A and B are shown apart, each in its own frame.
Chain A
Amino acid sequence: MNTAGIAFSVLQGLAYVLLAPLLLGWVGKVKATLQNRRGAGVLQPARNVYKLLGKETRVAHTASPLFRITPYVVFVATLLAAAIVPLLATNLPSAAVADIIVVAGLLGLARFFLALAGMDVGTAFGGMGASREMMVSSFAEPALLMAVFTLAWSAHSTNLAGIIDHQLSDARLLPSMLFALASLVLVAVAETGRIPVDNPSTHLELTMIHEAMILEYSGRHLALLEWAAQIRLMLYGALIANIFFPWGIATRPSLLALAMGMAAIVGKLLILGAGLALSETVAAKMRFFKTPIFLSLAFLLALIGLLSHVILESGG
Chain B
Amino acid sequence: MNAMWTLAGGSLVLALASALSGLAATERRPALLRQLSLPLFTLAGLAALVGGLWVLGTRATGTLQLPLGLPWLPWRLHLDALSGFFLALIGLLSIAVGIYGRGYVREFENGRDSLPALGFFSGLFLFSMLLVVLAGGALVFMVAWELMTLSSYFLVAFQHEQAANRRGAFLYLLMGQMGGVFILLAFGVLASFAGSFSFAAMRSIHLPGVWASIAFVLAFIGFGMKAGLVPVHTWLPEAHPAAPSHISALMSGVMLKVAVYGFLRVIFDLLGPSHWQWGVVVLVIGSISALLGVLLALMQNDLKRLLAYSSTENLGIIFIGLGLSMIFIGTGHAVLGVLALLAALYHTLNHTLFKGLLFMGAGAILHSTHERDLDQMGGLLRRMPWTGWFFLIGSISISGLPPLNGFVSEWLTFQAALQAWHLENGLLRALIPLAAVALALTGALAAACFVKVYGIAFLGRARSRHVRRAHQVPMSMRIGQGLLAALCVAAGLLPASIITLLGGVPWQLLGTGLSPADAQSWLWLTPISKTAASYSAPLVLMALLLLFAATVIFLRRGAVRRVRRSDPWDGGFAPPTPRMQYTAAAFAQPLRRVFAPLLQVEEHVTKSPDGSPRYRLQVTDRTIDLLYTPWVRAMDRITRYIARLQGGHLRAYLGWTLGALVLLLWMVLL
Residues of A within 8 A of B (CB): 53-66, 68, 72-73, 75-77, 79-80, 83, 96-99, 101-102, 105-106, 108-109, 111-112, 115-116, 118-128, 130-132, 134-135, 137-139, 141-142, 145-146, 149, 152-154, 156-159, 162, 205, 215-216, 219-220, 224, 288-289, 292, 296, 303, 306-307, 310-311, 314, 316
Contact = CB atoms under 8 A, between A and B. Distances in A.
B422 to A, nearest CB: 9
Q: Which 8 A-B pairs have the closest CB atoms?
A: A127-B582, A119-B455, A142-B440, A134-B448, A122-B461, A122-B460, A135-B590, A60-B568
A216 B547 contact: no
B437 A157 contact: no
A127 B584 CA distance: 10
A153 B444 contact: no
Contacts of A134: 447-448, 451-452, 587, 591
B582 A130 contact: yes
Given A57-B562, A141-B443, A157-B532, 14 more contacts: A60-B567, A62-B568, A68-B563, A97-B539, A98-B402, A101-B411, A102-B535, A119-B456, A122-B578, A127-B460, A127-B582, A137-B448, A152-B418, A205-B571
B569 interface: yes
A205 B572 CA distance: 13
A289 B593 CA distance: 9
A134 B420 CA distance: 30
B578 A109 contact: no
Interface in B417-459: 418, 420-421, 424, 426, 429-430, 433-434, 436-437, 440-441, 443-445, 447-448, 450-452, 454-456, 458-459
Interface in B326-370: none
B203 to A, nearest CB: 35
B387 to A, nearest CB: 13
A86 to B, nearest CB: 15
B568 A123 contact: yes
Nearest to B542: A97
Contacts of B392: 66
A159 B532 contact: yes
Interface string B529-561: 001111110011001100110011001001110
25 contacts: A53-B555, A55-B559, A57-B563, A61-B568, A64-B458, A65-B381, A72-B552, A76-B547, A80-B547, A97-B535, A97-B536, A99-B535, A101-B410, A101-B411, A119-B455, A119-B460, A122-B581, A128-B582, A130-B582, A138-B441, A139-B444, A142-B444, A289-B593, A310-B420, A310-B430
A60 B587 contact: no
B565 A149 contact: no
B222 interface: no
B534 A219 contact: no
B555 A311 contact: no
Contact of B568 (A65, A119, A121, A205): A121
B650 interface: no
Given A59-B565, A98-B536, A156-B532, A116 B451 contact: yes
B447 to A, nearest CB: 6
A21 to B, nearest CB: 15
Contacts of A54: 558-560
A72 B544 CA distance: 10
Contacts of B420: 310
A112 B401 contact: yes
Contact of B590 (A131, A145, A157, A306): A131
B559 A220 contact: yes
A135 B594 contact: yes
Nearest to A95: B534
B421 A80 contact: no
Contacts of B591: 134-135, 138
Nearest to B441: A142
Contacts of B532: 156-159, 162
Main secondary structure of the interface of A (DSSP, over half): helix
A292 B559 contact: no
A159 B591 CA distance: 32
Contact of B534 (A57, A96, A306): A96
B290 to A, nearest CB: 12
Given A97-B534, A311-B426, A105 B407 contact: yes
Interface of B: 378-379, 381-382, 392, 396, 399-402, 407, 410-411, 414-415, 418, 420-421, 424, 426, 429-430, 433-434, 436-437, 440-441, 443-445, 447-448, 450-452, 454-456, 458-461, 531-536, 539-540, 543-544, 547-548, 551-552, 555, 558-560, 562-571, 576, 578, 580-582, 586-591, 593-594
Contacts of A72: 548, 551-552
A304 to B, nearest CB: 11
Contacts, number: 261
A28 to B, nearest CB: 25
A285 B304 CA distance: 39
Given A99-B535, A122-B460, A157-B532, A57 B455 contact: no
Contact of A98 (B447, B450, B535, B555): B535
B382 A64 contact: yes
Contacts of A314: 421, 429
Contacts of A311: 426, 429-430
Contact of B563 (A59, A108, A130, A149): A59
Given A53-B559, A102-B540, A158-B415, A109 B396 contact: yes
A252 to B, nearest CB: 17
Contacts of A146: 433, 436-437, 440
A84 B465 CA distance: 47
A157 B529 CA distance: 9
A142 B544 CA distance: 24
B486 to A, nearest CB: 19
A105 B444 contact: no
Given A72-B551, A108-B399, A112-B396, A127 B586 contact: yes
A313 to B, nearest CB: 11
B383 to A, nearest CB: 10
**Chain B CB within 10 A, most for which of A63, A80, A135, A306:** A135
A220 B402 contact: no
Contact of A149 (B418, B452, B564, B581): B418
Contacts of B381: 64-66
Contacts of B400: 105, 108
Contacts of B429: 310-311, 314
Nearest to B414: A101
Contacts of B448: 134-135, 137-138
B399 A57 contact: no
A36 to B, nearest CB: 33
Given A112-B401, A137-B444, A127 B418 contact: no
B555 A121 contact: no
Given A58-B563, A122-B460, A109 B558 contact: no
A137 B433 contact: no
Given A76-B544, A311-B429, A216 B459 contact: no
Contacts of B578: 122
Contacts of A159: 531-534
Contact of A123 (B378, B445, B580): B580
B531 A162 contact: yes
Contacts of A102: 402, 407, 411, 535, 540
Contact of A220 (B418, B547, B555): B555
Contacts of B440: 141-142, 145-146
Given A72-B551, A102-B411, A135-B591, A149 B543 contact: no
A65 B445 CA distance: 26
A96 B410 CA distance: 19
Contacts of A219: 559-560, 563
A99 B533 contact: yes
A56 B562 contact: yes
B224 to A, nearest CB: 25
A159 B531 CA distance: 7
Contacts of B443: 108, 141-142
B402 to A, nearest CB: 4
